[in-house]
Structure 1
């Protein structure tokens, strides 16, 4: 990627904030932007008030009147989701990079300075800064080390697809990227995955907490709203994007784990047992074409046994078997560990193990690291090829020695 000359009035980063009913969280959010060590002269704020009625719009006006940071505030009618405000902000941004900051959340003081430095040093188009949860959980597996160029397919960065990343604006403009306003959930996953796949590399800043993800006490967060059909829309869109951009094979399988396990499978957790028959049937019907189109044997071996079993029950249209597995999980039962096959493989004996119909024993095989009853369970390691080769060589040598000794035994 060639270096783009920086215009004299072009800030390093545009912080885009979509605001809807965000008080009092907005106060700390804006304070964290103002406290950035990168300095007011190197950034700008684009804030889009999406029809707030709680005083958020008025507070934005007050903040704009006193801050040293260049800021533009837009007030608009409520759009019904986060995509509209983000797209408006993106269209107004002038920075070399953009960062989508949620009005509920806040930065670590050195966040922008560290992420911009990383993007410039590594020449990457997306930079992930370490995220921690405040009054809520947050993914942790991708923050083990700082990496200038991360491997999307063989690391856990594919499991963080929220919009809270630093994106090189030139990439977004060149590709004409925007958030899909038709999707009411998962729109950020679609946007981020496209940037991952079409951009010039991904960096990870893991040695400093860049972003604090806040769980609101009033639980008034868009990610928690909406009926279940929206989750299927999100899964369908993300699976389609991955299939369009990555040829079939191990790399596609590696990425498909994300929408299958994180987006689709929660709809088939133990909570399904409490739902009406019509909802269960509808969910099975919505999931069936996704499994038919994108489920592969390679993908099956990348997930845990209870995940694989549920997805295979969907593929076989066996709601009855699925409910048996869910009852087992809800009751807190632990599957027995059984070795079976030749060569012997470790299996977890969830319901219907050993019956072979319609689910084969291979559906129960441990193929990734799991935890059962608080104990770590590892897949059976394959016997190394070199061991087999050595056995063959030893056998050949024994045969040769026997053939050589045989005539000597008959000498008189």
Structure 2
């Protein structure tokens, strides 16, 4: 008798996961989806703390199919996830970190959402436990969306439901050369290739647990790994999208989430060698990918710091970082009949510094918080644009016709 294909394969990569693994596996057992429709593939990545033994105990008593694979330590999360993905048989796969846990009904709700809308990726609401979790994308359930018209670019962790046939069709695997940010690369590629993305926002599907033993990957590793991660994600966007607004709106993510924190208050505590190295690592990324389309989508203090990195001006940047660290507020400067608002962070209008005024110009979404600023009505922009078009047409007419409308010689 042939066994029915599972609806979902839960892939758990585990390394030194005790005691967090206990609650993780309990959350899998507590799922409301029929156990016969769930497959678990757990990969112990060379743990020495009893993780592998506990996984095998769980496999022996669980009501669902559980496969335990024990291997030598691979050095990162990509290897175990790829091993699990290679063994999976479910219609969907879900990557569950061994120190996190699922919400009740998580798999049932996400599978139903994916089936109902025929989407390739399903996001379930994430809640943080002793750590921060993404929030901006959980406003409401969305049957079908994409990475350009929603905020899902700010949740690139791997803990999502992926249609397995879709992953196999595109040969998608995690990059084992990256020690951090490998999930961002994988998930962004999935967003870009997917035939639709769904969001379950009205039920907590995943609890992101902060470990107190310092072993969580986001808390460890050299700062150089963050530059590797940014470089990989920016390169993916360059390969998959032509230059233009779509690429720019996604490029905001690696600049804002991965690169900018390296040039925050931490820089004040680091020595000159590290500062110099960071600027050297950032330079090729700034040269290749920093442009006005990305810059205008950031707040002034974010744009200013990255502009100073692009200008290779650590001296000016340290002043700005100290200003922000001291929680000082920049003076607002209104111009053009109060329709333009500049925020006078350090070195504003300084000829010696040479930072263009446009870097300090607040975009409307930031400017509206300041009293006195007036938004220019859309029709004003249209009138100005029309005037420019008419002037250009008149110039072209003069160039190609004679004084009485005849063709110019």
Q: Same fold (TM over 0.5)?
A: yes
Gap regions ≥5 residues in structure 2 = 387-409
* CA shift in 2, pair 1:388/1:50, >3 Å: closer
CA deviations on 1:226-260 (whole Å, 9 max, x unpaired) are 10110000000000101111111111110000000
Give how far 1:296 is off: 1.2
Cα–Cα, structure 1 residues 59 and 248, in superposed 2: closer, same or farther, change >3 Å? same
Q: Residues 387 and 221 (structure 1 numbering): CA distance in 2 closer, same or farther, change over 3 Å?
A: closer
Moved more, 253-262 or 326-335: 326-335
Q: After superposition, what is the alpha-carbon deviation per residue over 1:317-340, rounded to whole angstroms, capped at 9, x for unaligned?
A: 111111111111111111111112
Shift of 1:174: 0.9
Say whether residues 1:294 and 2:289 are aligned partners. yes
Match of 1:62 among 50, 54, 57: 57
Contact 1:131 1:213 in 2 (8 A): yes
- Would the aligned equivalents of 1:302 and 1:368 in 2 still touch at CA under 8 Å? no
Aligned to 2:216: 221
Match of residue 237, structure 1, among 215, 232, 238: 232
Offset of 1:135 from its aligned partner?
1.0
**Cα offset for 1:387?**
8.4
Shift in Å, 1:369: 3.2
Range with greater deviation from structure 2 (100-109 or 338-347): 338-347
CA contact (8 A) 2:123 2:200 kept: yes
Which of residues 106, 113, 130 in structure 1 aligns to 2:125? 130
Quote the offset at 1:343 in angstroms: 7.3
Residue 359 of structure 2 is aligned to residue 359 of structure 1: no
After TM superposition, give the deviation of residue 384 of structure 1 in Å: 2.0
Alignment of 1:249-264 (within 5 A): 249-264=244-259
TM-score (normalizing by structure 1): 0.89
Query: 1 CA distance for matches of 2:146 and 2:214?
Result: 35
CA pair 276-386 structure 1, distance change in 2 beyond 3 A: closer
TM-score by length of 2: 0.90
Residues 362 and 160 (structure 1), Cα distance of their counterparts in 2 relative to 1, 3 Å cut = same
Q: Tell me, in whole angstroms, the C-alpha distance in 2 between the residues paired with 1:85 and 1:378.
A: 56
Partner of 1:277: 272
What CA distance in whole angstroms lies between the structure 2 residues aligned with 1:377 and 1:124?
Answer: 44
How many angstroms does 1:75 deviate by? Answer: 0.4
Whether the aligned pair in 2 keeps the contact of 1:368 and 1:379 (CA below 8 Å) is: no
Q: 1:211: which partner in 2?
A: 206
2:330 aligns with one of 329, 335, 338: 335
Could you tell me how far apart the structure 1 residues matched to 2:370 and 2:72 are?
A: 52
Distance 1:378 1:119, change over 3 A: farther
User: 1:95-114, aligned counterparts within 5 Å?
Assistant: 95-114=90-109
Whether the 8 Å CA contact 1:366–1:378 is kept in 2: the answer is no
Q: 1:380 offset after TM fit, Å?
A: 5.3
Task: Give distance in 1, aligned partners of 2:27 and 2:20.
Answer: 11
SS in 1 for 2:67: strand
Distance 1:188 1:343, change over 3 A: same
Instruction: Kindly provide the CA deviation profile for residues 358-402 of structure 1, in whole angstroms up to 9, marking residues without a partner as x.
Output: 211110011153499xx6789853332268759x9xxxxxxxxxx
In structure 1, the gaps of 5 or more residues are 1-6, 393-412
Matches within 5 A, 1:4-43: 9-43=4-38
Matched position secondary structure for 2:324 = helix
Distance 1:319 1:134 in 2: 36
2:406 matched to which residue of 1?
A: none
C-alpha RMSD over aligned residues: 2.1
**Which residue of structure 1 aligns with residue 39 of structure 2?**
44
Checking the alignment, whether the CA contact within 8 Å between 1:187 and 1:234 is kept in structure 2 is: yes
Q: Match of 1:351, SS?
A: coil
Q: Residue 339 of structure 2 contacts residue 373 of structure 2 at CA under 8 Å; is this kept in 1?
A: no
Residues 303, 368 of structure 1: 8 Å contact kept: no
Q: How many angstroms does 1:151 deviate by?
A: 3.2
Shift of 1:43: 0.9
Distance 1:66 1:267 in 2: 46
- Secondary structure, in 3 states, of the residue corresponding to 1:180? coil
Aligned to 1:169: 164
SS of 2:132's equivalent? coil
| CA 1:131–1:345: 2 relative to 1, 3 Å | same
Contact 1:366 1:380 in 2 (8 A): no
Q: Provide the residue aligned with 1:385 in structure 2.
A: 379
1:93-139: CA deviations, max 9, x gaps? Answer: 00000000000011111000000011111111000000000111111
Secondary structure at the aligned position of 1:206 is classed as strand
Report the number of matched residues: 384
- Counterpart Cα distance in 2 of 1:28 and 1:135: 15
